[in-house]
């Protein structure tokens, strides 16, 4: 059973608007969460992370929100740009073991 789920395989957003990518997890022991972006023919690149002691972390156009009670996190990208078109992966971990558990990814398409 998947411990990290990204239920939307794809998402299409108009350039300049907000993109919201969602991720759900089942393991209440997870205490660190990361988002990665992946372009075709490249490996995933780290985007932003959040510790379970916070509920929000912001880095430029990217903000990650964590709702521990709902076991849900989301990545907001605003404004969305054409270069944001990629597959976005959510990953979670217990800090004690340094292993990342991954979602299946959401393909984000930014329309001009």
Q: Is 106 in the site for other proteins (CB under 8 A)?
A: no
Q: Is 110 in the site for other proteins (CB under 8 A)?
A: no
Q: What's the min distance (Å) between Cβ of 35 and other proteins? A: 11
Q: Is 4 in the site for other proteins (CB under 8 A)?
A: yes
Phi-psi region of 45 (alpha: psi -120 to 50; beta: other; left: phi over 0): beta
CB atoms inside a 10 Å sphere around CB 8: 14
Q: What's the min distance (Å) between Cβ of 2 and other proteins? A: 7
Q: Which of 7, 45, 67, 81 binds other proteins (CB under 8 A)?
A: 45
Rounded CA-CA distance 85/73 in Å is: 20
Please give the DSSP secondary-structure letter assigned to residue 21: E
Q: Is 100 in the site for other proteins (CB under 8 A)?
A: yes
């Amino acid at each position: 059973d998947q411990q990290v789920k990204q239920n939307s395989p794809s998402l299409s957003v108009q350039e300049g608007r907000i993109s919201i990518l969602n991720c759900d997890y089942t393991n209440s022991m997870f205490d660190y969460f990361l988002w990665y972006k992946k372009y075709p023919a490249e490996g995933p690149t780290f985007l932003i992370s959040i510790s379970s002691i916070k509920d929000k972390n912001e880095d430029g156009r990217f903000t990650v929100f964590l709702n521990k009670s709902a076991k849900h996190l989301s990545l907001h990208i605003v404004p969305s740009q054409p270069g944001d078109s990629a597959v976005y992966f959510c990953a979670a971990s217990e800090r004690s073991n340094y292993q990342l558990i991954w979602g299946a990814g959401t393909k984000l398409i930014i329309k001009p």
